[in-house]
Amino acid sequence: MTQPKSFKVSQIANYLKELLEDDVLLSGFFIEGEISNFRLHSRGHMYFSIKDDRAAINSVMFAREAAGLDFAPAEGQRVLIYGRISHYAAGGATQLIAEIMNPLGIGEMHLAFVALKEKLEKEGIFANKRPLPEFPRAVAVVTSPTGAAIRDIITIMRRRNPLVAVFVVPALVQGVDAPRSIVAAIDLASKSGADALICGRGGGSAEDLAAFNTEAVARAVFGASIPVISAVGHETDFSLCDFAADIRAETPTAAAQMVCPDLNELAADIGDGFNRINRIMSRKIQMAGAALDNRLLHAGQLITGRIRNGRAELARKMEIIDKITPKKVLERGFAMVEKNGKPIHSANLLKTDDEIMIRFGDGAIFAVVKKIEG
């Protein structure tokens, strides 16, 4: 038996490059298809896929050729391209180099999206937006439990307000079974006791985000019993889920910021209010003192009334400040569990024999986890 030859990676890559680029058929041809996953580089290069209902080819039109176009290519548009096949050995990418591009019309996928959007809009699926809760106790998140989106959401919410619970409801976010999985997760999140729901995923191609453009998902979002924030893809991505939700966030991180109030910002606002009250009180006392010389007979009553009102207002503000401090929350019977100095928001983050500290309003205890339920 003949021993197989051994090659370096660069030798095979360069062989593929020569094989493809020297092929007469692939060195210059016309191809018709639909633009997908379109991205415009800051230097003017256009990156996209050209596809039909069975296959897709990664493509690029460099800035020099793109500058000569008399139309703006867009996602879902059908085009006729003249180009050639090239293999980039250093990156291992085979792609179509587009030299000439002309529009043919709107692609079937985009036409279907527009038609379904118009249908749902006429039914009122995109109307009747609900406000988000001002101070939610718990927020449900429908997304992939292993994606970057859930990590970003949890990180932001812990940083802004660790008192808000996060219920992660796992769902498939792409593929044939994704729409059914997302619908089921939204229904479960609606019954979880959460005050609001974030539904979405990180960015991707039009095919990756397709599940969030289905009629079933749009209807499930509209029918949710709690306000829904749609966070699908990146800033430039729009889906039917976005239109059906009560509010759209440009990214999952933005969704977490929308739904979770920042305790530090609240404290700063209350502090500013306290300072304003002090300034108002000082001005009023000064005015009362100046009026004392002119209206000595009535000055006592005037000053007493204004000071009383000011003190009542000050006491009300101080009561608000007092109620929202973490110490007061603990004094009302709540407790905070910490491990290694960090708050623990879920039993899933602990294991038996872990050493933990349980903080109460009047002190703390140290314990060892013996059993975990739930």
Whether residue 271 lies inside any domain: the answer is: yes
Whether residue 300 lies inside any domain: the answer is: yes
Both 175 and 291 in one domain: the answer is: no
Between residues 332 and 260, which one has the greater pLDDT?
Answer: 260
Which band of pLDDT confidence, cut at 50, 70 and 90, is reported for residue 39? very high
Whether residue 284 lies inside any domain: the answer is: yes
For CA atoms 108, 109, 115, 118, give the dihedral sign: negative
- In angstroms, rounded to a whole number, what is the distance separating the alpha carbons of residues 304 and 301? 5
Closest alpha carbon to 256 in 140, 349, 144, 338: 140
The amino acid at residue 299 is A
Angular region, 280: left φ>0, alpha ψ -120 to 50, beta rest: alpha
Average pLDDT over residues 10-39: 86
Whether residue 4 lies inside any domain: the answer is: no
Both 130 and 47 in one domain: the answer is: no
Are the beta carbons of 73 and 104 closer than 8 angstroms?
no
pLDDT digits (tens, 9 = 90+) for 344-373: 888 888 888 888 888 887 888 888 888 888
Q: Within 10 A of 25 (CB to CB), how many other CB atoms are there?
A: 8
Q: Tokens at residue 223, please?
A: 């029918």
Residue 349: helix, strand or coil by DSSP?
Answer: helix
Both 135 and 229 in one domain: the answer is: yes
Beta-carbon contacts of residue 213 (< 8 Å; ≥ 6 apart): 113, 116, 239, 240, 241
Both 42 and 95 in one domain: the answer is: yes
Whether residue 338 lies inside any domain: the answer is: yes
Cα angle, residue 253 at apex, residues 247 and 257 outer, rounded to 5°: 65
User: Domain containing 227 — which CATH number?
Assistant: 3.40.50.2300
Residue 34 burial by Cβ neighbours in a 10 Å radius (0-12, 13-18, 19+): buried
Helix (H) or strand (E) holding 363: strand 363-368
Are the beta carbons of 132 and 247 closer than 8 angstroms?
yes
Between residues 256 and 305, which one has the greater pLDDT?
Answer: 256
Both 225 and 130 in one domain: the answer is: yes
Whether residue 1 lies inside any domain: the answer is: no
Of the candidates 208, 227, 259, which is a domain's last residue?
A: 259
Both 142 and 231 in one domain: the answer is: yes
User: Which residues does residue 94 pair with via DSSP β-bridges, in sequence order?
Assistant: 87
Strands 138-143 and 196-201: parallel
Both 170 and 303 in one domain: the answer is: no
Both 57 and 141 in one domain: the answer is: no
Residue 137: helix, strand or coil by DSSP?
Answer: coil
Question: Considering its fold, how many domains does the chain have in total?
Answer: 4
pTM of the model: 0.51
Both 183 and 197 in one domain: the answer is: yes
Both 335 and 315 in one domain: the answer is: no
User: Domain containing 41 — which CATH number?
Assistant: 2.40.50.140
Both 29 and 142 in one domain: the answer is: no
pLDDT digits (tens, 9 = 90+) for 85-109: 988 877 788 899 999 988 886 666 6
Both 218 and 343 in one domain: the answer is: no
Whether residue 236 lies inside any domain: the answer is: yes
Range of the domain at 149: 113-259
Average pLDDT over residues 75-85: 90
